[in-house]
Chain A
Amino acid sequence: EVQLVESGGDLVQPGGSLRLSCAASGFTFSNYWMSWVRQAPGQGLQWVANITPNGGQKYYVDSVKGRFTISRDNAKNSLFLQMTSLRDEDTAVYFCARIPCTGGSCYYDFWGQGTLVTVSS
């Protein structure tokens, strides 16, 4: 059974840092693109970042470029999101999600339950 379990969410002051983790199980982690998606309270979904299976390529939404870093440890079946210079508008539930790629199509299939990041003084 595919499982994605996020952790690391917390209350942090503006300008602070936080590292989110996503523990993967039930599949060959190193074969898949992975992603972070966030959802501000009462709002819709926003894509944050993607990473290729070997970690060699990373993609970010403009609003987090230079502040957030996506990474992975395939030996530990783990995905990470290092967040720095946090702002109020980064307050959200952060989901990790798996991305299978078949042919020219890459899409989400499984999602974690999310971890809450609150940025507030």
Chain B
Amino acid sequence: LAKTTQPISMDSYEGQEVNITCSHNNIATNDYITWYQQFPSQGPRFIIQGYKTKVTNEVASLFIPADRKSSTLSLPRVSLSDTAVYYCLVGGNTGTASKLTFGTGTRLQVTL
């Protein structure tokens, strides 16, 4: 299973754009990249998923370069409520979905 590396923590001011990069050098051909958000005392929540290029939804954008060895989660104009831990996972194809491994994630702190 592909191992991921993310920054341990990031700080941002409210209203700024935040980009969190995840490296996954040994990603497999059929692996997808998925990001989760976790607030204190809650279970992780799915944010976005992609395979290549760019994916955008109402919450975030996910940028994946052609070699797929890294990905960047972009949160536009963060607010205090975006303070959370963000996890990058790779895998998810049938047969490997249940073995997804969470790393320690990136702790994002948003302040005024």
Q: Do A and B come from one complex?
A: no
